[in-house]
């Protein structure tokens, strides 16, 4: 068979490893995807409902079939309820991740966080001040304790607004108030969404979608923002540092360990264990040249941002990296870990380990991590991985890694600009940088892996639009070579000039999925500096290959915050044209931004460029025709 897998992925490492997997008779996400085709049309359109056991029900959008479920819910209600539950699941996932970090902060404050510590005391104090914790004369651990307490309260607060909304422009906050979508307690908004979508509660599709925005905002300005901030406090606020990407980061002569998931609580400890002289000596005694830790997905992004740990791949590469036969152990925490992944691992010698009581998987050994045992558990796992080195058989690492730079927190970007966002605004006003786009989100086997991210990014930077990216989009762009200062030759003349002067790449790695809030915070800082709302800025968002409920929540909090957002895959809403029209048109008059859906990244680039030029014109800046 001479299949080249160019239909599945643009990434050369993935193409070669898919071939290897085919020869090894293992199956992947692409094989399983084929077995599901054709997808159920009712589900694709959002027209099936199983919210109660009078059903399941489905609406026939075309023929003579039912127009209402057993309870009487019509297409609008069912589509809106399904979307609402999708947002709730995404918001819950990010926010629960944030809560886990707050619990670690609380343990550290109590002196129980073995191996964890406070790494960014300045951020600790800044965040504490925002939450009304007095800091004068107090020890850091006391501040941490009071902050952790306040953050835990934020999840269930009875107050009418989340604390960190204070970072949003005043105009945006007033708009949220007027629409009655100011997010309150983080848990409350998700809980209320589940309540509203129960049979016989909210049966007004517009009201459901408004609450969807409130729920998503409780993620973007609540749970995710807490996750990102507390990660910085515990593990350090990222600064630019070199790294590498693609499967070539695995090392033939070293013990390779991969971390997968989202929460840095486990992976940070594994990194420390990999660097310990005892473990390195043990590896050498087994004939290895050292221990190589690499990441996939967002736990990888967290380590990349703070330590320059190399990135082996994004979502659709998570099975493929195992086919190298070079991975002694994969350690997972939660989110985006396909339950079939251990079936691929079983074809090789890789040990699979789960670490969270919230996330157990078939075929994995479960080793519970918590702050009290984290250090010892990490050492035990690394030791086990080292001992597995001798079980290796054939190793196939088919490519060389690509250089990249990660670590662009808002603080790092503002620092690179000389301490204020002023120079960035000046470059935008002068038209050298036309605007900025956040490219975020996953891979999805419906779309050729990385094609959406890389094509859209290439077109935007060559048209002088600065790109900031997160999640699996950021990994795609790293693999494509966009994240080194030398990549400025791919940018238009204006962006080239500015990035060249600052010594930064034209595509800035902003972090993991929860770090999308860094984009919100930067957008707010720019809007505040100009005295306008976020929706007035020449900016846009895109999720060209999204798949997850978390991405749905991110997209909705982007739009509800005023950021026009282009999706690649269509969300399951086409069963109601009323819902489609609201999401893609009507929201412009309500929150100043909409969704667009455009699977072709060339066309998506045109949409974003047009949006940015229109926003420039409205601000009285020079505008190009697109």
297 binds, among ligand SF4, ligand MSK, none (CB under 5 to 8 A by kind): ligand MSK
| Farthest CA pair distance, the chain | 73
CB of 44 to ligand SF4, least distance (A): 17
From candidates 73, 108, 331, 526, binder to ligand SF4 by CB under 6 A: 73
Query: Which three-class secondary structure state does DSSP give residue 347?
Result: coil
CB of 229 to ligand SF4, least distance (A): 39
With binding defined as CB under 6 A, does residue 550 bind ligand MSK? yes
User: Quick one: 600 exposed, middle or buried, by C-beta within 10 A (0-12, 13-18, 19+)?
Assistant: middle
Binding mask 22-61 for ligand SF4 (x = CB under 6 A): ---------------------------xxxx-xxxx----
286 binds, among ligand MSK, ligand SF4, none (CB under 5 to 8 A by kind): none
CB of 3 to ligand MSK, least distance (A): 25
CB-facing half-sphere around the CA of 356: CA atoms within 13 A? 19
Judged by CB under 6 A, the number of residues near ligand MSK is 15
Residue with token string 């990010």: 94
With binding defined as CB under 6 A, does residue 297 bind ligand MSK? yes
Alpha helices in 371-440 (DSSP H): 374-388, 410-416, 422-429
Sign for the pseudo-dihedral over CA of 551, 45, 449, 32? positive
CB of 336 to ligand MSK, least distance (A): 3
CB 296 within 8 A of CB 324: no
525 binds, among ligand MSK, ligand SF4, none (CB under 5 to 8 A by kind): none
User: Quick one: 40 exposed, middle or buried, by C-beta within 10 A (0-12, 13-18, 19+)?
Assistant: exposed
With binding defined as CB under 6 A, does residue 71 bind ligand SF4? yes
With binding defined as CB under 6 A, does residue 621 bind ligand SF4? no
Residues 74-103 contacting ligand SF4, CB under 6 A: 78
What is the CA angle 479-310-275, rounded to 5?
175
Exposure string over 61-88, b if 16+ CB within 10 A, otherwise e: beeeeeeebebebbbbbbbbbbbbbbbb
54 binds, among ligand SF4, ligand MSK, none (CB under 5 to 8 A by kind): ligand SF4
Distance (Å, whole) CA 363 – CA 357 = 15
Distance (Å, whole) CA 120 – CA 125 = 9
Stretch that binds ligand MSK, among 183-191, 367-375, 543-551, 569-577 (CB under 6 A): 543-551
Q: Which is nearer to ligand MSK, 273 or 298 (CB)?
A: 298
* Residue 188 CB neighbour total at 10 angstroms: 17
From candidates 70, 425, 485, 578, binder to ligand SF4 by CB under 6 A: 70
CB 558 within 8 A of CB 541: yes
Binding mask 248-267 for ligand MSK (x = CB under 6 A): --------------x-----
CB of 469 to ligand MSK, least distance (A): 10
With binding defined as CB under 6 A, does residue 142 bind ligand SF4? no
Q: Could you give phi then psi for residue 507, rounded to 5 degrees?
A: -130, 115
Judged by CB under 6 A, the number of residues near ligand SF4 is 14
CB of 420 to ligand MSK, least distance (A): 31
51 binds, among ligand SF4, ligand MSK, none (CB under 5 to 8 A by kind): ligand SF4
Residues 179-238 contacting ligand SF4, CB under 6 A: 199
With binding defined as CB under 6 A, does residue 439 bind ligand MSK? no
Respond yes or no on whether the N-terminal peptide bond of residue 38 is cis (omega within 30° of 0): yes
List, in order, residues 6 or more apart from 477 with CB less than 8 Å away. Answer: 439, 453, 454, 457, 467, 469, 483, 507, 509
CB of 573 to ligand SF4, least distance (A): 16
CB 598 within 8 A of CB 592: no
| Binding region for ligand SF4 (CB under 6 A) | 49-52, 54-57, 69-71, 73, 78, 199
| Binding region for ligand MSK (CB under 6 A) | 262, 297-298, 314-315, 336, 441-442, 471-472, 512-513, 548, 550-551
């Amino acid at each position: 068979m001479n299949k080249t897998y160019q239909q599945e992925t643009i990434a050369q490492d993935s193409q070669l490893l898919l071939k290897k997997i085919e020869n090894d008779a293992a199956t992947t996400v692409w094989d399983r995807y084929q077995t599901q085709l054709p997808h159920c049309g009712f589900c694709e359109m959002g027209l099936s409902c199983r919210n109660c056991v009078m059903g399941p029900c489905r609406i026939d959008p075309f023929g003579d079939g039912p127009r209402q479920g057993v309870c009487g819910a019509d297409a609008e209600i069912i589509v809106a309820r399904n979307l609402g539950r999708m947002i709730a699941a995404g918001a819950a996932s990010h926010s629960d991740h944030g809560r886990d970090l707050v619990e670690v902060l609380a343990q550290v404050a109590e002196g129980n966080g073995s191996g964890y510590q406070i790494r960014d005391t300045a951020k600790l104090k800044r965040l504490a001040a925002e939450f009304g914790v007095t800091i004068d004369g107090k020890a850091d651990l006391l501040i941490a304790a009071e902050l952790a307490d306040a953050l835990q309260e934020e999840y269930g607060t009875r107050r009418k607004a989340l604390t960190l909304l204070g970072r949003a422009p005043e105009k945006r906050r007033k708009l949220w108030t007027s629409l009655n979508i100011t997010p309150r307690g983080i848990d409350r908004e998700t809980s209320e969404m589940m309540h509203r979508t129960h049979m016989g509660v909210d049966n007004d599709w517009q009201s459901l979608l408004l609450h969807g925005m409130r729920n998503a905002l409780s993620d973007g300005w609540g749970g995710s923002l807490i996750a990102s901030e507390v990660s910085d406090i515990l593990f350090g606020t990222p600064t630019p540092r070199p790294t590498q990407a693609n499967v070539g980061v695995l090392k033939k002569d070293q013990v390779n360990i991969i971390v997968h998931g989202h929460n840095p609580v486990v992976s940070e400890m594994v990194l420390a264990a990999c660097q310990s002289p005892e473990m390195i000596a043990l590896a050498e005694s087994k004939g290895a040249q050292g221990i190589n830790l690499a990441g996939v997905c967002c736990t990888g992004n967290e380590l990349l941002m703070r330590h320059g740990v190399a990135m082996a791949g994004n979502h659709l590469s998570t099975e493929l990296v195992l086919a190298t036969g070079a991975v002694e152990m994969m350690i997972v925490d939660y989110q985006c870990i396909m339950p079939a992944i251990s079936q691929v691992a079983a074809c090789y010698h890789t040990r699979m380990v789960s670490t969270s009581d919230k996330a157990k998987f078939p075929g994995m050994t479960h080793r519970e991590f918590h702050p009290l045992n984290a250090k010892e558990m990490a050492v035990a796992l690394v030791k086990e991985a080292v001992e597995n080195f001798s079980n290796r058989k054939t190793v196939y690492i088919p490519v060389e890694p690509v250089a990249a730079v990660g670590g662009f927190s808002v603080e790092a970007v503002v620092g690179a600009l000389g301490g204020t966002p002023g120079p960035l605004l000046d470059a935008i006003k002068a038209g050298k940088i036309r605007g900025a786009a956040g490219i975020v989100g996953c891979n999805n086997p419906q779309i050729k892996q990385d094609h959406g991210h890389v094509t859209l990014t290439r077109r935007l930077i060559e048209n002088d639009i600065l790109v900031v990216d997160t999640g699996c989009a950021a990994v795609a762009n790293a693999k494509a070579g966009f994240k080194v200062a030398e990549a400025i030759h791919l940018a238009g003349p204006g962006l080239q000039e500015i990035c060249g002067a600052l010594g930064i790449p034209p595509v800035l790695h902003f972090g993991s999925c929860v770090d999308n809030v860094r984009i919100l915070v930067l957008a707010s800082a720019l809007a505040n500096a100009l005295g306008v709302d976020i929706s007035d800025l020449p900016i846009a968002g895109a999720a060209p290959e999204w798949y997850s409920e978390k991405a749905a929540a991110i997209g909705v909090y982007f739009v509800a915050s005023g950021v026009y957002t282009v999706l690649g895959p269509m969300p399951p809403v086409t069963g109601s044209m009323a819902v489609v029209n609201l999401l893609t048109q009507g929201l412009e008059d309500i929150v100043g931004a909409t969704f667009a859906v455009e699977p072709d990244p060339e066309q998506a680039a045109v949409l974003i460029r047009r949006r940015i030029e229109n926003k420039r014109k409205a601000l009285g800046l020079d505008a190009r025709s697109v």
